[in-house]
């Protein structure tokens, strides 16, 4: 791997050191694959040995390892799933162009949750994972007891998400890991370089010719951006009807909203959520952008505990 020694379970000490978390021994984490259709499977990280208490769903162009620091801080049994076409999961199977509707994603996720975490107390979804969570409340409501949306509601405008779209629409391959890291540092100037390098190792892979590509579905199928934040192209219709699903949510729902300019939400989005679902709770993260799990992971973990296990 271009001189890179990568062990996906060997980097947790870096997460702990970066955020001052105790680390006496590596956590109990294993990767599993579960069949969701006759010819497709989803991959997931199972944390801990007990019955999983939480399901974590990442955003578009990410993977289950985006939750590593949050999972370490939570120190509870949980499952972090690679969405279809992301991480180590098989590609989507609903459409020939590789695209899935929110309900299509939710159908696959529901099949995985039924096998891995049927009694989970909550589903936490960031961006595309949040839209999938909303759809999951319709597709398999028995699997969703509480909902946490991380910096997403339906109907995000393309203009507000342009910085994400531009990054995802970057080069399809990179000559070296350093080249890939340089681009990622430019996109995430507030993050530690060591953190970004760790994230790349989890989210990219080296090809036989020595070049590097992202693991997400973009290098397998035509995915131009995180569908959780891209309404600028012709695929926004794949997420129609989600506001109606929000209005019908019958379980406690919380929105964690990043307040930095690189969030994709505005005040009008928060207001629309509360108009549609007056019982919803909103918590602002002043020092976080779109990826709150990366910008303020300890604070997000504390909020999850308070909302899911103490409220």
Q: Residue 13 and residue 16: Cα distance in Å, rounded?
A: 5
Q: Does the active-site annotation cover 151?
A: yes
The answer to whether 228 touches 256, Cβ cutoff 8 Å, is no
Alpha helices in 162-266 (DSSP H): 162-168, 177-187, 193-203, 242-247
Q: Which token pair is 42?
A: 């989803």
Q: Which of the residues 82, 151, 226, 295 is marked catalytic?
A: 151
Q: Does the active-site annotation cover 291?
A: no
Q: Residue 44 and residue 81: Cα distance in Å, rounded?
A: 4
Q: Among 248, 302, 257, 264, which residue's Cα sits nearest to residue 282?
A: 257
Phi first, then psi: give them for residue 257, nearest 5 degrees: -115, 125
The answer to whether 139 touches 107, Cβ cutoff 8 Å, is yes
Phi first, then psi: give them for residue 123, nearest 5 degrees: -115, 130
CA-CA distances (angstroms) from residue 152 to 39, 124, 197, 220, 232? 31, 11, 26, 25, 16
Q: Does the active-site annotation cover 82?
A: no
Q: Which of the residues 43, 127, 245, 263 is marked catalytic?
A: 127
What amino acid positions are annotated as catalytic residues? Answer: 127, 151, 290
């Amino acid at each position: 791997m271009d001189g890179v020694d990568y062990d996906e379970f060997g980097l947790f000490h870096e997460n702990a050191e970066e955020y001052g978390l105790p680390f006496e021994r590596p956590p109990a984490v294993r990767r599993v694959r579960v069949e969701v259709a006759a010819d497709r499977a989803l991959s997931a990280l199972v944390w801990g040995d007990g019955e999983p208490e939480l399901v974590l769903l990442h955003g578009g162009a990410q993977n289950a390892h985006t939750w590593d620091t949050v999972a370490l801080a939570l120190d509870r049994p949980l499952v972090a799933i690679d969405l279809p076409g992301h991480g180590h999961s098989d590609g989507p199977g609903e459409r020939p162009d590789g695209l899935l509707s929110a309900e299509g994603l939710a159908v696959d996720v529901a099949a995985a949750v039924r096998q891995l975490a049927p009694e989970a107390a909550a589903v936490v979804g960031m961006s595309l994972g949040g839209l999938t969570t909303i759809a999951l409340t319709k597709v398999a409501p028995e699997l969703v007891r509480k909902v946490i949306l991380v910096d997403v509601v339906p109907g995000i405008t393309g203009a507000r998400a342009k910085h994400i779209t531009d990054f995802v629409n970057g080069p399809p391959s990179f000559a070296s890991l350093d080249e890939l890291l340089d681009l990622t540092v430019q996109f995430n100037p507030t993050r530690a370089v060591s953190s970004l390098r760790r994230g790349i190792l989890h989210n990219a892979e080296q090809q036989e010719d020595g070049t590097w590509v992202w693991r997400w579905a973009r290098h397998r199928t035509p995915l131009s951006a995180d569908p959780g934040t891209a309404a600028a192209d012709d695929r926004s219709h794949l997420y129609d009807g989600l506001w109606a699903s929000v209005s019908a949510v019958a379980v406690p729902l919380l929105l964690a909203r990043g307040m930095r300019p690189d969030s994709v939400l505005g005040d009008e989005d928060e207001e629309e959520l509360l108009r549609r679902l007056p019982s919803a709770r909103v918590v602002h993260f002043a020092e976080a952008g779109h990826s709150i799990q990366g910008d303020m992971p300890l604070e997000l973990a504390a909020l999850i505990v308070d909302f899911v296990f103490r409220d």
